[in-house]
Chains A and B, each alone.
Chain A
Amino acid sequence: MIALSALATGVAAPEFEAVSHDGRKITLTALQQQGPVMLVFLRGFG
């Protein structure tokens, strides 16, 4: 079921709103106004 939710190239990226590590409000819409966005999901650290 999780694999079925994978996103394909060409489709609209899901909009999101989040708070960054330094307390800034981040939205995809605002970021993409500035140029391309590279969104990297980490496995984790530590």
Chain B
Amino acid sequence: MKKDFKEFTSRNTTIVAVAPHTTEQVAEYWKKEELPMIGIPDEDGKLANLYGQEWKLLKLGRMPALFVIDRKGALAFTQYGTSMSDIPDNSEMLKVLDGLSGL
């Protein structure tokens, strides 16, 4: 996502990444990795629970989840990962965003 960041911003898309860590941990990681997107610390899981991010006890924690929200505030795309690496390709997400043009 970092490498295609400009592709997303050229579509007026804001990327927000929510991490189950403290503010200090997220700030440090964002600085170290030079991440350009907005990072939101969610140590208590409040935001994750609001969006239904799944816990898998056997896989020791949270599964990734991804949502695209259109200008009207509706969910245009939702994916709840079933494994640690279950994340859609950037190309797939860019197609979703292209489909929102004009909305």
Total A-B Cβ pairs within 8 A: 161
| A40–B64 CA distance with the chains assembled, in angstroms | 8
State which residues 1-19 of A face B: CB under 8 Å. 2-3, 5-16, 18-19
* A18 CA to B16 CA, complexed, in Å: 11
- Identify which of B14, B39, B78 contacts A21 (C-beta below 8 A): B39
**A6 pairs with B80, CB closer than 8 A:** yes
Q: Could you tell me how many residues of chain B have their Cβ less than 8 Å away from some Cβ of chain A?
A: 58
Question: Nearest-CB distance from A31 to chain B (Å)?
Answer: 5
- The answer to whether B51 and A39 touch across the interface, beta carbons within 8 angstroms, is yes
With an 8 Å Cβ cutoff, the count of chain A residues facing the other chain is 39
A44 adjacent to B67 (CB under 8 Å) = no
> Which B residues touch A26, using CB under 8 A?
16, 38, 40
A-B residue pairs in contact (CB < 8 Å), sample of 20: A2-B52, A5-B49, A7-B75, A8-B78, A13-B74, A18-B42, A21-B23, A26-B40, A32-B69, A32-B70, A36-B70, A36-B100, A37-B13, A37-B15, A38-B15, A40-B65, A42-B18, A42-B64, A43-B63, A44-B21
